Amino acid sequence: MKRYPVQYKQNKNIVYSSKYHIVFCPKYRRPVLVGAVADRLREILNEICAERRCELFQMEVMPDHVHLLLEVDPQFGVHRLVRLLKGRSSRQLRQEFPHLKSRLPTLWTNSYFLSTVGGAPWAVIKRYIENQRNV
């Protein structure tokens, strides 16, 4: 299997390569991320990542969960980024799609899955996320 060279990023203090696979779900794992809601969610997550200079490599929005493959500045923090992604997307989606307010007390669960991707071959992780739609 071909391994790609590590691409390092830097800010004024550090040089880093910190890639993460993140998965989070709507409350009660309800299948509400479909159609216009899923499209708008993709836009919101892309906007937030662009704002925070976080590189979003892969995203798959399933009806009942979201997979992200991204790289974030460790000084900003992955936990802080996940809170921002979930918080802002919840607020905006619930304002734009009132049916989400009536079905769910909050859009997202408090928990999420997080895995570093440093040791795994990059192509394998990307393929896994791309193939989630076919499972």
Enumerate the H helices of 14-71 as residue ranges.
35-51
* Domain annotation covers residue 66: yes
Assigned token pair, 84: 């921002």
* Domain annotation covers residue 54: yes
Judge contact between 39 and 30, C-beta under 8 A.
Answer: no
* Domain annotation covers residue 85: yes
Q: Please say if the pLDDT value at position 46 is more than 80.
A: yes
* Listed range (54-58, 61-65, 100-104) with the worst mean pLDDT: 100-104
User: Which residues form the domain of 52?
Assistant: 26-134
Catalytic residue among 20, 28, 112, 128: 128
* Domain annotation covers residue 33: yes
pLDDT per position as a tens digit, 7-26: 788 888 888 888 899 999 99
Angle among Cα 127, 18, 106 to the nearest 5 degrees reads 75
* Domain annotation covers residue 90: yes
Q: Which pTM value belongs to this model? A: 0.85
Look up the CATH number of the domain holding residue 86.
3.30.70.1290
* Domain annotation covers residue 124: yes
Q: How many domains does the chain have?
A: 1
Using CA atoms of 5, 123, 45, 82 in order, give the dihedral in degrees to the nearest 10: -80
* Domain annotation covers residue 13: no
* Domain annotation covers residue 5: no
Active-site annotation holds for 128: yes
Give, as one character, the DSSP assignment of residue 11. -
Task: Tell me the DSSP string of 95-134.
Answer: HH-THHHHH-SSSB-S--EEEE-SSS-HHHHHHHHHGGGG
Residue found under tokens 């619930």: 94
Q: Please say if the pLDDT value at position 2 is more than 70.
A: no
